[in-house]
């Protein structure tokens, strides 16, 4: 079974973690699919994607 989380906010909107830290935490917990869903802002997508690519 895949571990997917499709609703995550970084501190760019109302979350607590940077996009990098959010992806790192997700990977550490076995998440294989992640959606960054910051409110009204796409600023964290490049960082999140870059980290996800680095971590495989």
The residue behind tokens 């079974």 is 1
Q: Is the pTM of this model over 0.85?
A: yes
**Residue ranges of the domains in the chain?**
4-55
Whether the pLDDT of residue 49 is over 90: the answer is: yes
Copy the structure tokens of residue 2: 């895949």
Whether the pLDDT of residue 45 is over 90: the answer is: yes
Copy the structure tokens of residue 40: 């009204």
| Rounded-to-integer distance, Cα 50 and Cα 31, Å | 16
**Mean pLDDT over each residue of the chain, to the nearest integer:** 96
What number is the average pLDDT over the span 33-37?
97
What number is the average pLDDT over the span 20-29?
98
pLDDT at res. 1: 79
pLDDT at res. 44: 97
């Amino acid at each position: 079974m895949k571990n997917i989380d499709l609703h995550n906010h970084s501190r760019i909107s109302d979350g607590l973690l940077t996009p990098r830290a959010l992806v790192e935490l997700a990977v550490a917990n076995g998440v294989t699919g992640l959606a960054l869903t910051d409110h009204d802002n796409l600023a964290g997508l490049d960082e999140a994607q870059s980290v996800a690519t680095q971590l495989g």
